[in-house]
Amino acid sequence: MEVFEVISPLKDSETIAVGSGIRDIERIRKTYGGGRRRKLKGFAVVRLADGFECLAELHWYEAHGIGRR
């Protein structure tokens, strides 16, 4: 099992940074390639490796035409 598993749909997602406003933009471009990047956050219920379930704030990156990473 991974560190956590998302077990509910993401809710209340919002963009928190775009393009050069993302601190790690150079690392992300080197790893995943180009694209118009956005950093987003949202909430979901997650299950931790020990079986504990809780509401968590999740952060992820998306790029147009590529999807979540």
Which residue's entry shows tokens 């471009």? 29
- What pLDDT score was predicted for residue 67? 63
Q: Is residue 49 within a helix (H) or strand (E), and if so which, with residue range?
A: none
The residue segments making up the domain with residue 46 are 4-68
Residue partners of 17: CB distance under 8 A and separation at least 6: 23, 38, 39
Count of domains for the chain: 1
Q: Model's pTM, two decimal places? A: 0.79
- What pLDDT score was predicted for residue 22? 93
- What pLDDT score was predicted for residue 29? 87
